[in-house]
Structure 1
């Protein structure tokens, strides 16, 4: 996400696989809100990223409600993890 937002070519374009990955992405967006301005570019990285970006609001709300930013409420987010798995299965 950071490379894409900074317009730096990146060969590793893997989307968040689990809530640990999603937490790192969410932390980036919270620390550097301008990354949101590049969501449409990030979505073009792959069909997987397109799915994540299209569902970002839903994922973010679920994760923050369940675990809190940077897992500040609890150390796991099974509901959000299942949502990520369901989204991967839709592709």
Structure 2
């Protein structure tokens, strides 16, 4: 649907806070449509939104620091940027 943002994650669900398929189905329609998809410029995202949300859930559930993010998640800086952008868009 939205290029890389909608691609199935290439990592296996392995942590307790990872979203189930049912949770992802409920959350996915609530995410904003990328600007590039609407012809407003920009480029496709490099990471699946589900991977980014799983990383945020892991961070919150386990109380780790950003830089202690496991290597099978996207880079901590990308996850941080996604969470910051998500927070800014919710008002």
TM-score (structure 1 length as normaliser): 0.31
* TM-score of the aligned structures, taking structure 2 as reference length: 0.31
